[in-house]
Amino acid sequence: MFGHRLVADDPIGVVPTKSECLVGVWSEVSDRVDIAEERHIHGPRLRRAVPSAPMRWSQLFVPTLRDAPNDAVAPSHQLLVRGGFMRQLHAGHYSMLPLGWKVHQKVAQIVREEIDALGGQECLLPTMHPAAIWKESGRWDTMGEIMFRLTDRKGAENALSITHEEIFATVASELSSYKQLPQIWYQIQTKFRDEARPKSGLLRVREFHMKDSYSFDVDAAGLDVAFERHDVAYRRIFERLGVPSIAVQASSGAMGGDSSVEFMTPSDAGEDDVVLCPDCGYSANIEKATSALPSIDDGAAGELEMFDTPGVRTIKALAEFDGGAAADHQLKTLVMILDGTVTLVVVRGDHQLNTQKLADVTGAIDIRPAETEETVAALGAHPGSLGAVNVTDHPIVADLALQGRVNMTTGANIDDKHHRGVSVERDLTVGQWADLREVSAGEACVNCGTALTIVRCIEIGHIFKLGTKYSEAFGVNVSNADGKVVPVQMGSYGIGIGRNMAAAVEANHDDKGILWPMSIAPFHVVITLMRVDDDMLAAGQTIYDELRAAGIDVLLDDRDARAGVKFADSELIGIPLRITLGPRGLKEGNAEYTERASGDTSDVPLSDVAAKAIEHVRAALAS
């Protein structure tokens, strides 16, 4: 009775040694005697080498599932749930189970090592912030609904951390001299973002760990160095994580600042489109990408003329209409509401507006298409007959591709009537020219003319040159070498830990399960016992001890289960190496050595198998 309570109540690792227990109690829990003896014999040495408790699958909580939950679609989502790495609490919030947390910590540790290597100093800042600090930068208002806000008992407003530019800037306001610079500070800490639509398991969540680092330099040249160092470190991180990465030009969005680079990994589960030139290497997020357009001969500018177009409501219909015009000779007029202001956005008939580009060039925060009633109120006509000709009471933003175009056709702001002979610069009061159109696959690269491709990607990291936006808001000033007080140049750099864990699965899986890279595998090696008897346990234990002593992360599959179950589980959870001990091989003095990724299997003498695995793991980790 007492013995059973011990098993139920005591977590692995605090089991008393045999000598501390009453004789007889332990006979009821014989497997625990093995653990106790192991700790008794090897405890001190293991404690130094590997601080964690011995890992026996029979004692591990790894709730694997034979079927994926039906609401999981992305491979990483399915496999991380099926493999017992995590469970969902509610939309966008996941509980990390022992296996999942182990991987998460390994990912975080790789990131930590690489940021340390570039001179980063780890900190930990609060996750709850007073509203005042966000009001100081202006982002209390501009961040919108993405920020979780809560009110405390005194009625004071607070925010949960979405990012930490403001908070690090307040810390940095203690900097006073260029002699203290450069500084790079970072943390690996929880972020909360009230995403409109959490999805795909860990790929888009509302609560997650991020490594965010911040650089502080006296001048732009210093910022360039910090940025470049992060660029290099990030590439190394993704390489170590086994996640293929592409660095692309990106929109800075709500971060502000001069320029930013995103790191992307190709995946159907992603949410971003990346424009790539297969020839010269041009790469940009579609929110930023441009392309070269063939020139169009419009002939000589004609006169503005209104004509009847009964029932014509679309670009396509006008192109087919007798007396109409091809789509690339039409103007598409989009009525948008930018921060409450009705704005006409004009692009070529066959082009699509990219709203992020519109946001970037106008600085607008809240952008939405106008409702039909708003459109009619503003222009006097319904969608399908809209145009910007002679409109002066609303701002007009036009795409660069329309500069110099003449003889264009567009809606006349009277239902069932259009204008032809439109000279864009003559007939439209364009307040702002900007690159607004979204690149399509097959268009020519701006650098080399090669046809561009578009690839779906997951954003796995993002680095920003912030400049002085936050240092000016928070008074982060230092004296430079000339004795002049200048605002510090800041950069910020983010990697989502859980998202990279998921991205690693997206990039490394097969029909049987996950193929973890050695660097972040929950265990490097699993020792699979085909039968759980004394001989087998003893043989497994010997190899286990050897691997543990070498610092290898090893799991002993001592479960009383059939071979197929053990094989399938170890393949599902993706342990890179498997040492199988079976009665046949044992009789001959051999173990079976299997690589998860290739499936290659060979017989290895029992006396050599641990050494082979150690060498294998070390080689994999060193690369």
Partner RNA sequence: CGGGUUGUGGCGCAGCUUGGCAGCGCGCCUCGUUCGGGACGAGGAGGUCGGGAGUUCAAAUCUCCCCAACCCGACCA
Site residues for RNA per CB under 7 A: 63-71, 73-74, 77, 88, 90-92, 143, 146-147, 162-163, 191, 193, 195-200, 204, 251, 253-255, 271-272, 355-356, 359, 367-368, 459, 462, 494, 512, 530-531, 562-565, 567-569, 571-572, 580-585, 592, 594, 601
Closest contact distance (angstroms) between CB of 84 and RNA is 10
Edge-to-edge strand ranges of the sheet holding 157-160:
128-130, 157-160, 149-151
DSSP 15: P
Closest contact distance (angstroms) between CB of 6 and RNA is 17
Closest contact distance (angstroms) between CB of 92 and RNA is 6
CB nearer RNA, residue 415 or residue 459? 459
CB nearer RNA, residue 364 or residue 430? 364
Residue type, 186: Y
Mind spelling out the 3-state secondary structure of 357-412? Answer: HHHHHHCCCCEEECCHHHHHHHHCCCCCCCCCECCCCCCEEEEHHHCCCCCEEEEE
Closest contact distance (angstroms) between CB of 544 and RNA is 17
Handedness of CA 569, 574, 578, 584 (dihedral sign): positive
Closest contact distance (angstroms) between CB of 563 and RNA is 3
CB nearer RNA, residue 314 or residue 601? 601
CB nearer RNA, residue 606 or residue 621? 606
Q: At what angle do helices 220-241 and 497-507 cross, to 10 degrees?
A: 50
Let me know: does 205 contact 142? Beta carbons within 8 Å.
no
DSSP 298: -
User: What CA–CA distance (Å, rounded) separates 604 from 384?
Assistant: 75
Closest contact distance (angstroms) between CB of 45 and RNA is 30
**Strand 259-266 relative to strand 246-250: parallel, antiparallel, unpaired?**
antiparallel
Closest contact distance (angstroms) between CB of 201 and RNA is 8
Let me know: does 577 contact 613? Beta carbons within 8 Å.
yes
CB nearer RNA, residue 1 or residue 196? 196
User: What CA–CA distance (Å, rounded) separates 480 from 181?
Assistant: 10
Handedness of CA 406, 409, 411, 412 (dihedral sign): positive
Residue 191, CB-side half-sphere exposure with 13 Å CA sphere: 24
Which residues, including other chains, have CB under 8 Å from residue 197's CB and lie 6 or more apart?
204
Q: At what angle do helices 497-507 and 75-82 cross, to 10 degrees?
A: 100
Closest contact distance (angstroms) between CB of 411 and RNA is 22
CB nearer RNA, residue 166 or residue 459? 459
Let me know: does 499 contact 108? Beta carbons within 8 Å.
no
Closest contact distance (angstroms) between CB of 329 and RNA is 26
User: What CA–CA distance (Å, rounded) separates 102 from 80?
Assistant: 13
CB nearer RNA, residue 19 or residue 70? 70
Q: At what angle do helices 220-241 and 98-117 cross, to 10 degrees?
A: 140
CB nearer RNA, residue 143 or residue 388? 143
Let me know: does 620 contact 576? Beta carbons within 8 Å.
yes
Closest contact distance (angstroms) between CB of 485 and RNA is 30
CB nearer RNA, residue 148 or residue 321? 148
Let me know: does 32 contact 12? Beta carbons within 8 Å.
no
CB nearer RNA, residue 272 or residue 416? 272
CB nearer RNA, residue 315 or residue 579? 579
Q: Quickly count: other Cβ atoms within 10 Å of residue 7's Cβ.
A: 13
Closest contact distance (angstroms) between CB of 352 and RNA is 9
Closest contact distance (angstroms) between CB of 246 and RNA is 15
- Reading phi first (left if > 0) and then psi (alpha if -120 to 50, else beta), residue 281 is in left
CB nearer RNA, residue 261 or residue 428? 261
User: What CA–CA distance (Å, rounded) separates 162 from 139?
Assistant: 11
CB nearer RNA, residue 165 or residue 415? 165
Helix (H, G, I), strand (E, B) or coil at 22: coil
Closest contact distance (angstroms) between CB of 516 and RNA is 16
User: What CA–CA distance (Å, rounded) separates 541 from 557?
Assistant: 11
CB nearer RNA, residue 146 or residue 377? 146
Closest contact distance (angstroms) between CB of 67 and RNA is 4
User: What CA–CA distance (Å, rounded) separates 74 from 77?
Assistant: 5
User: What CA–CA distance (Å, rounded) separates 423 from 408?
Assistant: 7
Closest contact distance (angstroms) between CB of 293 and RNA is 22
DSSP 162: S
CB nearer RNA, residue 92 or residue 487? 92
Mind spelling out the 3-state secondary structure of 199-265? Answer: ECHHHECCEEEEEEEEEEECCHHHHHHHHHHHHHHHHHHHHHHCCCCEEEEECCHHHCCCEEEEEEE
